Amino acid sequence: MWNSPAEFFAMGGYALYVWGSFGVCVLVLFLEPLLVRARFKAIVRRLKQEQLAEQFDRESSK
Site for other proteins in 2-61 (CB under 8 A): 2, 8, 11-14, 16-18, 20-22, 24-25, 28-29, 32-33, 36-37, 39-40, 43-44, 46-48, 50-52, 55
* C-alpha to C-alpha distance for 40 and 5, rounded to whole angstroms: 40
Cβ 45 to other proteins shortest distance, Å: 10
CA atoms within 13 A on the CB side of 46: 6
Q: Give the contacts of 18 (CB within 8 A, at least 6 positions apart).
A: 11
Cβ 46 to other proteins shortest distance, Å: 8
